[in-house]
Amino acid sequence: MRQRLSVEAYTKGVLSGDTIILSRAITLIESKLKNDKLLAKAVLENILPYTGKAMRVGITGVPGVGKSTFIEAFGKHITSLKKKVAVLTVDPSSKKTGGSILADKTRMEELSRDPLAFIRPSASGLSLGGVARSTRETMLLCEAAGYEVIIIETVGVGQSETLVKGMSDFFLLLMLAGAGDELQGIKKGIMEMADAVAINKADGANKISAELAVTEYQNALHLFPKSDSDFITKVVTCSALEGTGIASLWELITEYQQSTIQNGYFEKNRQAQNLEWMHNYIRQLLEGLFYENTIVKKAIVMSEKSVKEGNELPVPAAELLLDLFMKNLLK
């Protein structure tokens, strides 16, 4: 294993924008080793005053929508404005090996070579919703390293949307046109979360159907309750392949940022997200303590066997294990 740096070396490297040390710092916070956790905590405390200044953009979309191609085109547009962009892609992990299945960095070759861009694929580690547990900390490290726009890509349509919405300032939903009934196969809840809907692949023969899809989605959005941000969700078309609509989408995000800063929602949303982060961490920490407890580890084997064979109901079995855990803690 590569030798760890000192807290000062990690801090200095991240703040100077050294991508090699930034990558090593992210690896450090992803580590489950006790010593690494203590080191990571100290590094995060040091860089905290230099965080919070980036625009955090969450991006999701239906399968086949071309997220990676879109993010590359979107990222290249941002760097063309001389802004630094960090892309955090969360790859689904294999249930058998725990390894990452996708490889987003290899699918964004041009952007990965851009000196103003930083791409970090992370395995979800089988965590709930497919979002890596350390995504928030990674985001802070990137902000401290001077990245002005942070893009968080979700695995796909599902539970991950709620988690990414809870750590981003602007949430973009990518959709396709001409794929059957436009409003089927997409949960109402995800539509309600979106700050903008972009119909991708609006090129060639698909342009007309993309424009029709805009009208359909816009009509559907009118039926939803007004957003807390007071920003009216817009539906636009774009083509990542041709690069059309990308610039206007960035202008829309900038407009959203200015509007929500002025009406106070931007800061209010960030504060609510920090509280959510704290409570999520408490749940994760308690879950970790429970499953790592020696007494529980021994008892859970028998409980699982009993539940699996139908000799015991899951809820009473869980309550007994939790009771055992609590008694063990109080000793």
CATH number of the domain that 118 lies in?
3.40.50.300
* pLDDT of res. 129: 39
| pLDDT grade for 1, boundaries at 50, 70 and 90 | low
The structure's pTM equals 0.87
- Whether residues 99 and 147 share a domain: the answer is yes
**CB–CB of 174/69 below 8 Å?**
no
Question: What is the number of structural domains in the chain?
Answer: 3
How far apart are the C-alpha atoms of 253 and 55, rounded to whole Å? 9
| CATH code for the domain of 10 | 1.20.5.170
Q: H or E element: which one contains 306? A: helix 294-308
pLDDT-wise least confident of 138-142, 161-165, 284-288, 294-298: 161-165
- Whether residues 230 and 169 share a domain: the answer is yes
Across residues 140-144, what is the average pLDDT? 98
Q: What's the sign of the alpha-carbon dihedral 168, 271, 53, 132? A: negative
- Whether residues 15 and 93 share a domain: the answer is no
- Whether residues 78 and 163 share a domain: the answer is yes
Judged by DSSP in three states, 46 sits in helix
Strands 85-91, 117-123: parallel, antiparallel or unpaired by DSSP? parallel
The domain containing residue 29 runs over which residues? 1-50
Q: Is the pLDDT of residue 296 over 50?
A: yes
- Whether residues 67 and 145 share a domain: the answer is yes
Q: Which residue has the higher pLDDT, 326 or 127?
A: 326
Across residues 37-50, what is the average pLDDT? 96
Q: Is the pLDDT of residue 94 over 70?
A: no
Residues sharing a CB contact under 8 Å with residue 316, sequence separation 6 or more, in sequence order: none
- Whether residues 81 and 164 share a domain: the answer is yes
Residue 11 lies in a domain: yes
* pLDDT of res. 3: 81
Residue 289 lies in a domain: yes
